[in-house]
């Protein structure tokens, strides 16, 4: 089965703790993305990576960090510096490309609750 997996589906953390969200794809896609979605709103881009060992900040990167050491994996760390981390986090991948874009394939999402 090809696709994108995110784990866990639900995650609970105490304020002040860092937490890492997992995203794995076996689609052989070069590009991967992390989005944040708040209730009733659209997706906002946190970080994206167009190739292994490279990544760029999106629109709301503050308080987040990523790594891209393997083509199939793009973990997102929500640090204690993120002031309002409770949200639904979505990972996606695409064939990639530096000039244009193709359709993105999304994982099922991780709902993070920080109290």
Partner 1 sequence: SQQGEEDPQALSIQEGENATMNCSYKTSINNLQWYRQNSGRGLVHLILIRSNEREKHSGRLRVTLDTSKKSSSLLITASRAADTASYFCATNTEEETSGSRLTFGEGTQLTVNP
- Name, in order, each residue with C-beta under 8 angstroms of 112's C-beta and a sequence gap of 6 or more: 11, 12, 13, 19, 21, 78, 85, 86, 87, 88, 89
Q: Does 64 bind partner 1 (CB under 8 A)?
A: no
Q: Does 106 bind partner 1 (CB under 8 A)?
A: yes
Residues 79-98, one symbol each (x = binds partner 1 by CB under 8 A, - = not), give ---------x-x-x-x-xxx
Q: Are strands 110-114 and 10-13 parallel, antiparallel or unpaired?
A: parallel
20 versus 101: smaller Cβ distance to partner 1: 101
CA angle (93, 31, 104) in 5-degree steps? 35
* SS3 state of residue 93: strand
Q: CB 70 → partner 1: shortest distance, Å?
A: 19
Cα–Cα distance between 52 and 24 in angstroms, integer?
13
Indicate which single residue of 22, 50, 67, 86 sits in contact with partner 1 (rule: CB under 8 A): 50
Q: Does 45 bind partner 1 (CB under 8 A)?
A: yes
Contact footprint for partner 1 (CB under 8 A) = 4, 31, 33, 35, 41-45, 48, 50, 56, 58, 88, 90, 92, 94, 96-109, 111
């Amino acid at each position: 089965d090809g696709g994108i997996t995110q784990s866990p589906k639900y995650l609970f953390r105490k304020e002040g703790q860092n937490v890492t969200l997992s995203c794995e794809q076996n689609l052989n896609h070069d590009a991967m993305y992390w989005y944040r979605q708040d209730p009733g709103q659209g997706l906002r881009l946190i970080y994206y990576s167009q190739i292994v060992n490279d990544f760029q900040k999106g629109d709301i990167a503050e308080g987040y960090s990523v790594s891209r050491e393997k083509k199939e994996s793009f973990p997102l760390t929500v640090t204690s510096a993120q002031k309002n981390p409770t949200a639904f986090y979505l990972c996606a991948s695409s064939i990639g490309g530096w000039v244009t874009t193709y359709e993105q394939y999304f994982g099922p999402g991780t709902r993070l609750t920080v109290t």
